[in-house]
Amino acid sequence: MTTLTAPDRPAEQVAPALRDADVQPGHGRPALLMMAPFLVLYLLFIIGPTLYMVLMSLFDTSLVKEGLGSWAGLGNYAEAFGDPAFWESMWHTIWFTILTTPPLVVLAFVLALLADRVRRGRWFFRLAFFLPYVLPSAVVALIWMWIYTPELGLLGRFVTALGFTEPGWLGDPDVAMWSLALTTVWWTLGFNFVLYLAGLQDIPRELYEAAAIDGAGPIAQIRRITVPMLARTTSLVVVLQVIASLKVFDQMYIMTSGGPNFSTRPVLEYVYDVGFTDFRVGYASAVSTLFFLVVLAVSAVWVLLTRRQEQGL
């Protein structure tokens, strides 16, 4: 039934050749017409803004004044590198990524593995784990702010009942990022769970049966068959997760406003603050460009890794 194409094809197949082998006369004009709606919007609202961002990063552009403003050269970049607030926000983004990626990958894998063994009621698990993923970030934030409310919140009372002191979930600078990570794991786990579940269904049952006949117990089967067979799925899940975590903004914006004392402000919120509160669009563009390079680097690492996997097989 799954007639959609596989996401993790060899990079060689995905990447087109650098020439056209079979140009046919009369195809050019209709092709241009059919691509025009997409290409015009794409040029005007994706490629154009990307180039404009790089251009603005070289000027002292202001949000409220027309034009680019005065030439700044690499001054904005130098300022970013010299500004502790930039480094802190960049670190918060990376720290959030480090906190969320391992549980979101490992827990999703384990739960999918368990769900794959259970014959009945799979729809229920899919519902339970995936339902939070379709909720808007604002809804997730409102629910968890209530759960984290000091003294009245569900989690605080649970922890107190166990005999511990309730931490300042969102109010303590040392705890807030962990709380945001916990909320995010709850919110987005379902996506990775479904990816893993699909990967598990592609493993031929005969492999397990053969292993069972050889006397391999369930744990040995998982270690010797499941984990290696899911290597591709795992690399896809990890890279998608890292990129999604790097783009974090919503949870912090709503739940902590980047606080307390800027201890949870991610780099996108820093861009938001310097661009739309301080009106320093040139500087904000420089920071955006730097952030863009980080995301590009992650994608590039993934392409290289999958290439190597291809060759290794």
Instruction: Select from 241, 242, 266 the least CA-distant residue to 254.
Output: 266
Compute φ and ψ for 71, nearest 5 degrees.
-65, 135
Closest approach of other proteins to the CB of residue 253, in Å:
7
User: Is the CB of 35 or the CB of 174 nearer to other proteins?
Assistant: 35
Structure tokens at 89: 């926000």
Q: Of the candidates 266, 276, 241, which has an alpha carbon nearest to the alpha carbon of residue 176?
A: 266
Q: What single-letter amino acid sits at 46? A: I
Gyration radius of the chain over CA positions:
24
Rounded Cα gap, residues 287 and 272, in angstroms: 10
- Minimum distance of other proteins from residue 46's CB (angstroms): 5
Query: To the nearest whole angstrom, how small is the minimum distance from the Cβ of residue 49 to other proteins?
Result: 4
Query: In terms of C-beta distances under 8 Å and separation of at least 24 residues, what long-range contacts does 203-209 make, across chains too?
Result: 203/229, 203/230
For residue 99, the minimal CB distance to other proteins (Å) is: 19
Closest CB 168 distance from other proteins, rounded Å: 18
Nearest residue (CB) to other proteins, 131 versus 231 = 131
Sign of CA dihedral 234, 238, 240, 245: positive
Q: How many residues does the chain have?
A: 313
Name which of 40 and 174 has its Cβ closer to other proteins.
40
To other proteins, the closest distance from the beta carbon of 197 in angstroms equals 7
3-state secondary structure of 59: strand
Residue whose CB is less far from other proteins, 39 or 174: 39
Q: Do 268 and 93 meet the contact criterion of CB atoms below 8 Å apart?
A: yes
- d(C-alpha 241, C-alpha 235), whole Å: 10
Closer by beta carbon to other proteins, 43 or else 174: 43
Query: CB-wise, 174 or 278, nearer to other proteins?
Result: 278
